[in-house]
Structure 1
Amino acid sequence: MAIPFTFRQLNYFVSVAQHGSISKAAEALHVSQPSVSIAIHQLESLLGQPLFQRHRGQGVSLTPRGEALLKEARQILTLSHNLLARLQQDDTEVEGQLVICCFRDIAPYYLPRLVSEFERRYPKITVVMQEQDLAGVSLALTQGKAELALSYALGLPQEVDTRVLDELPPYALLPANHRLAAEPMLSLAEIAKETLILQDMPLTREYFMSLFWHRDLQPSHIHTTASFEMQRGLVAHGHGVALSCTRPAGDQSYDGAPITCVPLNDDVPPQRVVLARSRQFPLSIPAQLFLDQVTNQNEKP
């Protein structure tokens, strides 16, 4: 019996799922948008069910049947690409694509450097980087939209394997002229008396609030913001204080206003920065090469 679909159709389908857009997938694949649309339509006709929900002006999202097919298609394509890659005598000649999802707050600190080093070593591998909140990172791994994820070890699904890259203890951010800015360390009880500038993102919000809840504390006032950059700006200009684990090289906001960073004296475990992969999917050769490179770098004295 002839196989009723092609590897090209599956590849186009996976690319649309990863990019959430037919036009973006076509651009990444260097083909025309109608070519991708036709391939998706052919697969949907073959299966007798829609694989994507179309959202006018907002791309596409997977249907339940599409989510199931994505896992199967990823496995088929990964195994076939790995077979071809193993025929290469030199790893630097390996071709392919690697999709890495990253928690947006820590992406700038790690991903550009890691990917640049990887692409210099493996110039024929294309790396696609996606930024998400913590919930989005977990979803990308479980749905197979990304093969690897760089994130905090927070809220990741059980079927995920991780490698620890770094450990970041939480600290307090205060305006430079705040009455507590000169203190060598601060307690969460002291922070709770201030207006807390809190990033309003899934899991991030719960993590920082849990530091107070575990000590029967509640911040007196909470001001939420959607981004780390706005959080730092509000702190710098005296709107409140904040907690964070990531710390840019310069202790100032985007407009140059100074920020004071003070460590906590509470016994709070650090946030682990991890490189994660889902055990539900076979690991591609490009993903294994990336994992090996990052692991070797971390093991250097």
Structure 2
Amino acid sequence: MVITLRQLEYFETVAEHGTVTAAAQHLFMSQSAVSNAIADLERQLGVKLFVRHARGLSLTREGQAVLGRSRHLLREAADLEANAAKLRDDMSGPLNIGCYSTIAPLLIPRIVADFAERYPDVRVRFEEGSRSELLQGMTLGAHDVIVLYDYRFKDDLSEIGHSTQLGSIPPYALLPPGHRLAGRGVVALADLAADPFILFGLEPADQYFLSLFASEGLSPDVRHRTGNYEVLRGLVARGVGYSLLTQRTRQTTSYEGIAYSAAELDGEYAPLGVVAVIPSRHRMTRKLDAFVTSARAVFDEAPAYDRG
């Protein structure tokens, strides 16, 4: 048996107005819809709620008892809705962010600093991880929002939440300082494919970067694979091979301080979209709206060498 709030609302309105016609007019509903709702409610409860007479309807003894409980439940539902609205507007308490590892260095420091200054009662908590780790965390309720790349070959984001575009980042090449193409500014994958390649292996970025070669009918010579982009920069700077990334730092140097060369890719490679995903079960609260606004500003204001 499933009793709905709408049935109770119709029942209370009929009790107050004394006729189905008057209640239907008050509710801006058809008489048949109101009559059917009352009949369904009587059937589900197993009691007769109204006595029908020439002048309209009057409550039975059982109907009077049900009306008292119905009014209580409707008040409780109204209070719940009001409290939920207050929670949606509340700028305090935790905000749990999950962020893809390579996006985090660009995004998280700005978000934490912005919220500390503008919304000091909000406690920002964040975790970094791979795409699968973030999606699992959201499924388990660990994150209020996750930020990750919207890979075109993945179509599972709509299954877990609502995606909001934050920005987009095109890929670029990292070359050893002594590479024959270093300093050119723009390089073609066809001119690099035969060289030793260092693949960024944090899933599913590896699929994405390999797909760039596949789109040109090329197969890179993968010598090393790493999910740590600082290790990747270090290998490139040491002359072990070239690589591809999306996120850039302001300085083209490795963790050791050794310089490498960055170059744009010659070709039509669509930028990777960066999205914020909010669980389907959640509404857009003021905290989440403030997060999206702040996150978009990070990508809108980032200069070209930050956005790749």
Distance 1:82 1:130 in 2: 32
The answer to whether the aligner puts 1:145 opposite 2:142 as a matched pair is yes
**Deviation digits for residues 40-86 of structure 1, max 9, x if unmatched?**
xxxxxxxxxxxxxxxxxxxxxxxxxxxxxxxxxxxxxxx97982772
Equivalent in the alignment of 1:97: 94
- Asked whether 1:241 is paired with 2:238, we answer no
Post-superposition Cα deviations, 1:230-268, rounded to whole Å, max 9, x if no partner, equal 000000000000000111010000111111001001111
Q: Secondary structure at the match of 1:212?
A: helix
| TM superposition shift of 1:103 | 0.6
Which residue number in structure 2 is paired with residue 46 of structure 1? Answer: none
CA distance in 2, matches of 1:276, 1:82: 26
For 1:51, the equivalent position in structure 2 comes to: none
Is the Cα contact below 8 Å between 1:147 and 1:283 reproduced in 2?
Answer: no
Q: Tell me how far 1:167 sits from its aligned partner.
A: 1.7
Amino acid across the alignment from 1:186: V
**CA distance in structure 2 between the partners assigned to 1:81 and 1:229 by the alignment:** 48
Please tell me whether residue 157 in structure 1 is matched to residue 154 in structure 2: no
> Structure 2 CA distance, aligned partners of 1:152 and 1:84?
31
RMSD: 2.7
**Letter of the aligned partner of 1:126 in structure 2?**
R
| Residue 133 of structure 1 pairs with residue 130 of structure 2 | yes
Q: Distance in 1 between matches of 2:91 and 2:273?
A: 31
Using the TM superposition, give the Cα deviation of residue 196 of structure 1 relative to its aligned residue in structure 2, in angstroms. Answer: 0.8
Q: Distance in 1 between matches of 2:293 and 2:241?
A: 43
Distance 1:295 1:175 in 2: 32
Q: Does 1:112 align with 2:113?
A: no
Give the Å deviation of 1:209.
0.8
1:298 to 1:181, Cα distance in 2 relative to 1, 3 A:
closer
2:211 counterpart SS class: helix
Tell me if structure 2 keeps the 8 A contact 1:237–1:257.
Answer: yes
**Residues 276, 186 of structure 1: CA spacing in aligned structure 2 closer, same or farther, 3 A cutoff?**
same
CA distance in 1, matches of 2:298, 2:221: 44
Alignment-derived partner of residue 222 in structure 1: 223
Q: Secondary structure at the match of 1:150?
A: strand
- Partner residue in 1 for 2:197: 196
Q: d(CA) in 2 for partners of 1:241 and 1:219?
A: 10
* Matched residue, 2:206: 205
The 5-angstrom pairing of residues 158-173 of structure 1 reads 158-159=158-159, 160-173=161-174
User: What 5-or-longer segments of structure 2 have no aligned partner?
Assistant: 1-78, 302-308
- Between the aligned partners of 1:257 and 1:299, the Cα distance in structure 2 is 29
Count how many residue pairs are aligned between Structure 1 and Structure 2: 219
SS state at 2:185 partner: coil
Deviates more, 1:119-128 or 1:290-299: 290-299
- Paired with 1:105 and 1:279, the residues of 2 have a C-alpha distance of 25
Q: Is the 8 A contact 1:103 1:134 kept in 2?
A: yes
- Change in CA separation of 1:82 and 1:269 when aligned onto 2, cut-off 3 Å: farther
Do the aligned residues in 2 keep the contact of 1:81 with 1:284 (CA within 8 Å)? no
Alpha-carbon deviation of 1:190?
Answer: 1.6
Query: Whole-Å Cα distance in 1 between the matches of residues 239 and 300 of structure 2?
Result: 42
TM-score calculated relative to the size of structure 2 = 0.64
Cα pair 2:172 2:262 within 8 Å, conserved: yes
What letter is aligned with 2:236? V
Residue identity over aligned pairs, in percent, reads 31
* Greater than 4 Å deviation, 4+ residue runs: 79-82, 292-300
Larger Rg: 2
DSSP-derived class of the 1:182 partner: coil
For residue 83 of structure 2, what is the aligned residue in structure 1?
A: 83
TM-score by length of 1: 0.65
Supply the AA of the counterpart residue of 1:135: S
